[in-house]
Amino acid sequence: MGKISDKMKAVAYLRTSSATNVGADKDSDRRQREAINSFAKRAGIAIVDEYYDAAVSGGDAIESRPGFAALLDRIESNGVRTVIVEDATRFARELLTQELGILALIGRGVTVLTATGEDLTNTDDPMKVAMRQIAGAFARLEKARLVTKLKKARDNKRKSGLKVEGRKSHAELKPDVIEVARRLHRKDRKGERRSYREIAAELAQRGHLSAKGTPFSPSVIKTMIGR
């Protein structure tokens, strides 16, 4: 590995897979921390923060880990572009999950170093290159599947008549006002129905106003009654 600038800053990432290995009196996180700090000191790197996924299995999806998610948030917010781990298994023991985590960091311009000085983001290992490509394709497939799934759910809600998104209707915001407007509309006066403007005026007289504090417009009254 080449010479590292003494001005470089990095964050540390730790993971323990079992709750029995979590705690100040346990050696897993202490061992990882000591290895990372020792390497950083030799390399002239300043560890500015630490992120830790405690009792998280190496088989758990990388995107579901709170410590890793917080790590990504930190990277995106303050410009630190180096992450140090004890070794690649701290991401996961399964190679595909390892590569998904490393890919997430590569996509943010991050260099991932191990406590032995290995650069996990820069490799010419044919197996790792192939796995990285597979992991990338898998991540894109999952994203596309999620988008399709969400769209299908929205379409099904629309077909069932449920409101999916956008501003809430007057019926949702003021159901009691809707009922009053409908009663006024049904009530005949000399055989005639009130106009929308007359209903709006009657509602205003009873204290029912728009969000702006003005009487409802005739078009709004029409929408209310028509629901």
Per-residue pLDDT reduced to its tens digit, 145-178 = 667 777 777 777 666 655 545 555 554 456 778 8
Q: At 47, which CATH number?
A: 3.40.50.1390
Asked if the structure places residue 1 within a domain, the reply is no
Asked if the structure places residue 2 within a domain, the reply is no
Query: Which residue's structure tokens are 């390399």?
Result: 43
**Integer angstrom CA distances of residue 48 from 13, 33, 82, 147:** 11, 13, 10, 36
Over residues 9-30, mean pLDDT: 71
Is the domain of 134 the same as that of 32? no
Is the domain of 70 the same as that of 134? no
Domain count, the chain: 3
Asked if 86 contacts 115 with a C-beta cutoff of 8 angstroms, the reply is yes
Instruction: Write down the mean pLDDT value for the chain.
Output: 76
Asked if 110 contacts 121 with a C-beta cutoff of 8 angstroms, the reply is yes
Is the domain of 94 the same as that of 54? yes
Is the domain of 45 the same as that of 112? yes
Percentage above 70 pLDDT, the chain: 69
Give the model confidence (pLDDT) of 65-103 as tens digits.
888 888 888 888 777 899 999 998 887 777 777 777 887
Domain extent at residue 40: 9-122
Is the domain of 117 the same as that of 194? no
Q: Find which of 2-11, 12-21, 90-99, 174-183 is predicted with most confidence, using mean pLDDT.
A: 174-183
In whole angstroms, give the CA distance from residue 227 to residue 222.
9
Asked if the structure places residue 4 within a domain, the reply is no
